[in-house]
């Protein structure tokens, strides 16, 4: 836990990075058994390893099943790849007309300013792009993507993702912001990031100042467990809210991390009530390779969100979605309360579980 003194004098985020795990060799400094260390080193040869000190400090090393540890420390399970798993689970590449951009829905595009992250999550669905492309930001690398956006007037939202856009320096963020702001049909800039979770000290006044201007800014954070919500993440979110950003969160449903009603309830409640971050999506596990040990069944996910719906207010509830293979997009998977219809009469299960009838009465 960070004490009050640390909160009033923010730690230098670069120290957080330097004192964290940055290379496979840094795993040697962690309190792992020789067998766990060997497994971690082998798994880290498939998908890079990285975690800032602030995030590692949240791990209870006495618990081998710790939910924070499960997200960032490589383990043997990752080496077990199962037939049917995919290198590009949601077909980012198939829908990429120019490098560093994916365009699947008319009004919005994904823009990849960097393929590097402040933390490498073991379950990442883009981990193979992070390995095979892996490159960081340069102005030149984004030119074709920016020209494409300027040429397509149907694009209203640009989603910075990656990689982690907030792993970039303020100067790069300001440059990207200015280029996108200059395209008149773009209305909103969205940033998908794990930095507020894993490296909250990076959310500085300089960072939010780099993103001020005409565009509406929405930051979609990626908290998966209530233990990730700390005084430091609270301060990072307050800084972003005070800068006028809209804050949403997406979580991935992960076996052994957050696959209980209690874990999800506490996560969603604390996101909204403590951080002011609206739970947006709860993602069902995609088919990233080597992740069978972290996936739940869809039926388990449906039972969880049904229970959440009964326990949490509307604003605290995320939408349970699956991002389909082959670019099918995100579709809601939540249980459907409609039991049937008889002409204009619909039979719908109420929140109390009892059946109700709704008769459609529609004027001329």
Ligand X SMILES: *Cc1c(COP(=O)(O)O)cnc(C)c1O
Nearer to ligand X, 227 or 278 (CB): 278
Would you count residue 293 as binding ligand X (CB under 6 A)? no
Q: What are the residues facing 158 on neighbouring strands?
A: 109, 189
Whether the Cβ atoms of residue 43 and residue 74 lie closer than 8 Å to each other: yes
Site for ligand SF4 in 187-206 (CB under 6 A): 194
Instruction: From 261, 268, 188, select the one nearest 221 (Cα to Cα).
Output: 268
The Cα 75–Cα 122 span in angstroms is: 9
- The verdict on whether residue 268 carries a ligand-binding annotation is no
Whether the Cβ atoms of residue 85 and residue 292 lie closer than 8 Å to each other: yes
Site for ligand X in 247-276 (CB under 6 A): none
Q: Could you give the count of Cα atoms lying within 13 Å of 261 in the half-sphere of its Cβ?
A: 12
Would you count residue 322 as binding ligand SF4 (CB under 6 A)? no
Q: Which stretch binds ligand SF4 (CB under 6 A): 87-95, 159-167, 275-283, 307-315?
A: 159-167
Would you count residue 120 as binding ligand SF4 (CB under 6 A)? yes
- The verdict on whether residue 336 carries a ligand-binding annotation is no
Would you count residue 20 as binding ligand SF4 (CB under 6 A)? no
Residue 330 touches which of ligand X, ligand SF4, none (Cβ within 5-8 Å per kind): ligand X
The Cα 280–Cα 308 span in angstroms is: 14
| Joined tokens for residue 187 | 């209305």
Would you count residue 330 as binding ligand X (CB under 6 A)? yes
Would you give the binding string for ligand X spanning residues 145-184, x where CB under 6 A is met? --------------x-------------------------
Residue 117 touches which of ligand X, ligand SF4, none (Cβ within 5-8 Å per kind): ligand SF4
Sheet holding 338-342, edge to edge: 338-342, 345-349, 355-359
Q: What are the residues facing 247 on neighbouring strands?
A: 219
Pairing of strands 246-252, 278-283: parallel
Q: Which stretch binds ligand X (CB under 6 A): 13-21, 42-50, 97-105, 345-353?
A: 97-105
Residue 162 touches which of ligand X, ligand SF4, none (Cβ within 5-8 Å per kind): ligand SF4
The Cα 260–Cα 275 span in angstroms is: 21
Would you count residue 102 as binding ligand X (CB under 6 A)? yes
CB of 126 to ligand SF4, least distance (A): 5
The Cα 291–Cα 124 span in angstroms is: 9
- The verdict on whether residue 117 carries a ligand-binding annotation is yes
If you search the block for the tokens 């700390």, which residue do you land on? 230
Would you count residue 110 as binding ligand X (CB under 6 A)? yes
The Cα 81–Cα 50 span in angstroms is: 22
Instruction: From 356, 358, 357, 310, select the one nearest 335 (Cα to Cα).
Output: 310
Q: What are the residues binding ligand SF4 (CB under 6 A)? A: 117, 119-121, 124, 126, 162-164, 194
Question: Which residue positions form the known binding site for [4Fe-4S] cluster?
Answer: 117, 121, 124
Q: What are the residues binding ligand X (CB under 6 A)? A: 90, 102, 104-105, 108, 110, 159, 330
């Amino acid at each position: 836990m960070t004490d009050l003194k640390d909160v009033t004098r923010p730690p230098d985020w670069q120290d957080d990075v330097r004192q964290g795990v940055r290379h496979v060799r840094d795993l040697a400094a962690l309190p792992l058994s020789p067998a766990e260390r060997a497994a971690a080193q082998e798994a880290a040869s498939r998908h890079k390893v990285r975690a800032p000190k602030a995030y590692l400090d949240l791990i209870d090393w006495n618990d081998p099943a710790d939910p924070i540890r499960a997200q960032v420390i490589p383990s043997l399970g990752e080496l077990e790849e199962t037939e049917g798993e995919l290198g590009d689970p949601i077909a980012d590449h198939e829908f990429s007309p120019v490098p560093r951009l994916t365009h699947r829905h008319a009004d919005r595009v994904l823009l990849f300013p960097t393929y590097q992250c402040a933390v490498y999550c073991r379950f990442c669905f883009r981990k193979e792009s992070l390995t095979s492309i892996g490159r960081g930001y340069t102005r030149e690398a984004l030119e074709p993507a920016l020209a494409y956006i300027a040429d397509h007037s149907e694009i209203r939202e640009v989603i910075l993702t990656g990689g982690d856009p907030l792993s970039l320096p303020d100067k790069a963020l300001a440059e990207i912001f200015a280029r996108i702001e200059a395209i008149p049909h773009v209305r909103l800039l969205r940033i998908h990031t794990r930095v507020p979770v894993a490296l909250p000290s990076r959310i500085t006044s300089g960072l939010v100042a780099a993103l001020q201007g005409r565009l509406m800014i929405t930051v979609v954070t990626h908290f998966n467990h209530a233990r990730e919500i700390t005084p430091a993440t609270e301060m990072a979110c307050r800084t972003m809210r005070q800068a006028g950003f809209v804050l949403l969160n997406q979580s991935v449903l992960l076996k052994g991390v957050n696959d209980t009603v209690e874990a999800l309830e506490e996560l969603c409640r604390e996101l909204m009530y403590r951080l002011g971050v609206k739970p947006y999506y709860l993602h069902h596990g995609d088919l990233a390779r080597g992740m069978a040990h972290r996936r739940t069944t869809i039926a388990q996910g449906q039972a969880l969100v049904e229970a959440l719906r009964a326990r949490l207010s509307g604003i605290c509830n995320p939408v349970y979605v699956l991002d389909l293979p082959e670019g099918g997009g995100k579709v809601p998977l939540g249980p459907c309360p409609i039991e049937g219809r008889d002409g204009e009469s619909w039979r719908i299960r109420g929140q109390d579980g009892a059946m109700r009838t709704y008769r459609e009465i529609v004027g001329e």
